[in-house]
Amino acid sequence: MEQRAELVVACRQWAQGPVPLRHTVLPGGGVMSVRTVCLGWHWQPYRYARTADDVNGARVAAFPDWLGDLGRAAVAEAYGDEDAAQAFAPDTALINFYDDTARMGMHQDKEERSSAPVVSLSIGARCVFRFGNTEGRGQPYTDVELASGDLFVFGGPSRFAFHGVPKVYTGTADPAAGLRVGRLNLTLRETGMASGDA
Ligand SMILES: O=C(O)CCC(=O)C(=O)O
Ligand SMILES: [Fe+2]
């Protein structure tokens, strides 16, 4: 996956607003250590909406066409299937920023009303990505190291697999991409929401 530096510039811009990067508050009161900003649709546990009602109430920035093209190119690369790639029509991106101490617990991406793949792009520090099973948070899982420029696609039987990020490696950032610290992860998704939904 090239274009890392351009993506970092774009993410910095999106982090400025209309909705700023925020630590998501979970319904149980927990606060995520990762900071997130969304495009197209705002994800909040556990639903999508056009406005960031748990942040500043603003409508999220539009999901740009060029990011959809990048998602289709990613599916083409992962599946080697041009038809599958053309069928992928992501309408939201969740942009996560991890500092060296941030983690993400095991979860499923299941707010989407679509079984289309989720395309995940990683930039910056290396991390341990824990890729589990569809039954629960525990074993069996596989720990994979994701590095700057890596592409990961959740599709088919793995679409609803539990996954998380138990560790980010300090001192492994990617200054060439414009990130001196931390890790950026973008997931491109189809929400399955109708454009008129609130
Ligand atoms: O940071 C990652 O690689 C995973 C992010 C993730 O699972 C999510 O945003 O739902
Ligand atoms: Fe996820």
Say which ligand is closest to the CA of 34: 1
Q: What CATH number matches the domain at 4-189, 3.40.640.10, 2.60.120.590, 3.10.350.10, 3.10.20.10? A: 2.60.120.590
Residue minimizing CA distance to atom 6 of ligand 1: 164
Residue minimizing CA distance to atom 5 of ligand 1: 185
Say which ligand is closest to the CA of 108: 2
Residuewise pLDDT in 10s, the chain (198 residues):
458 999 999 999 999 999 999 999 999 999 999 999 999 999 999 999 999 999 999 999 999 999 999 999 999 999 999 999 999 999 999 999 999 999 999 999 999 999 999 999 999 999 999 999 999 999 999 999 999 999 999 999 999 999 999 999 999 999 999 999 999 999 999 999 998 776
Determine the distance separating the centroid of ligand 2 and the alpha carbon of 142, expressed in angstroms.
15
Q: Does ipTM top 0.90? A: yes
Determine the distance separating the centroid of ligand 1 and the alpha carbon of 186, expressed in angstroms.
8
User: Structure pTM?
Assistant: 0.97
| Confidence at residue 1, expressed as pLDDT on a 0 to 100 scale | 47
Cα-Cα-Cα-Cα dihedral sign, residues 137, 142, 145, 151: negative
CA 5 – CA 172 distance, rounded (Å): 16
* Best residue among 98, 120, 189 to mutate for probing ligand 1, ranked by most atoms within 8 Å of CB: 120
Residue minimizing CA distance to atom 3 of ligand 1: 185
Tell me the residues surrounding ligand 2 (ion) with CB < 5 Å: 109
CA 65 – CA 69 distance, rounded (Å): 6
Q: In a 10 Å sphere around its CB, with 0-12 CB exposed, 13-18 middle and 19+ buried, how is residue 5 labelled?
A: middle
Task: Specify the ligand 1 atom closest to the Cα of 94.
Answer: 9
Per DSSP, the three-state class of 117 is coil
Token pair of 20 as six digits? 């700023």
Domain boundaries of the chain, sorted by first residue: 4-189
Ligand 1 neighbours (beta carbon < 6 A) = 94, 96, 104, 109, 120, 122, 129, 163, 165, 185, 187
| Confidence at residue 77, expressed as pLDDT on a 0 to 100 scale | 95
Q: What is the pLDDT of residues 91-113, one digit of tens each?
A: 999 999 999 999 999 999 999 99
